[in-house]
Amino acid sequence: MSKKNILDFSYEELMAYMTEELDVKKFRVDQIVDWIYDKHVFEFQEMSNLSKDFRDFMDEKFFVGIPEPIDIKTSKIDKTTKFLWELRDGNTVESVALFYPKRVSACISTQVGCALKCAFCATGASGFTRDLTPGEIIAQVLAMEKIKNIRINNIVYMGMGEPLLNYENTIKSVKMLNDKRLKNLGGRHITISTSGIVPRIEELAEIPIEIRLSVSLHAPTNIQRDKIMPINHKYPVEELIQACKNYQKITNKRVTFEYTAIKGFNDSEDDARNLAALISDLKVMVNVIPVNDNPAGFEKPSKRFLDTFARILINKGIDVTIRAEKGSDIEAACGQLKKRFIEKQ
């Protein structure tokens, strides 16, 4: 029998499997969980309050699927740290740790690559390989905490891949991160970012955890969005906005719209007015993001354009932020580190 990744088990699954199938005492399971999730010890032989025989037994049955860091870049500007991980099958994914005065936030991946091919995204250019397991998603958080000696208290599913196309594994990982016996992270500190997988957005409303929803909108019309986000052909803007309304009707939670601003494409005053009209019936925050370096060669708008764009939305009663760039000196956007690593080979 092949070894199992212990991180793929929820607490209930692990307790049932180890006590019922492997005849392990309940307190031993809790000891192992504490070593992994609290003490960040990922080798059974280092778990000192377990007997040698039991450590050997665990080595025979399980492994702790922590990825290997093959490239780590830390910003000299703001300490933003980007990790390129190698998984057990040789595939690579990225994560980012972002440091703020009162919190540490992590941006984590849910897939190896991405199938959506958004024009401004470096990950989409690499294509899609496979989904991550729940354990591979969670392992990014645990590995960053150990390497940087930090406690991550905010997690955003906004790394490589589309979380809602790996729905079951994504939601299982959310529930495990939220579990008080595992990571114990409050639902309000977990955000799922989606490019607009309409049926899954409505399913999210039924999850009994107060997670936050972020939608990558990036354009106020179908004509514009079609050009940069192929997923819009399947789920056009009107359907996406209606799904957000349905989600908000059930949850009463504010939705964040991510809006990547591209010079000469979606940053005009008319674009701002069109966006305001589109989302006028929703309780929202619009996060305006100057475009990162990208395969299509899009350029950032000037600060004057960004300020004018934001001011129009604010005058329409819409909450707006212009995202401050983090880790600009290390290319901290999704897919950039992997792309640079591949180019070196």
94 is catalytic: yes
Closest alpha carbon to 202 in 251, 267, 152:
251
Name the catalytic one among 94, 136, 162, 258. Answer: 94
Question: Would you say how long the chain is, in residues?
Answer: 345
Residue 32's contacts (CB-CB under 8 Å, 6 or more residues apart) are 6, 44, 47, 50, 58
Name the catalytic one among 118, 121, 244, 334. Answer: 334
Number of H helices, E strands in the chain: 11, 14
Angle between helices 134-148 and 167-178 (to 10 degrees): 50
Q: Tokens for 18? A: 């180890």
Closest alpha carbon to 81 in 93, 65, 94:
94
Residue 48 CB neighbours (<10 A): 8
**From CA 156, how far away is CA 189, in angstroms rounded?**
8
334 is catalytic: yes
Helix (H) or strand (E) holding 130: strand 128-131
Residues labelled as active-site residues: 94, 334
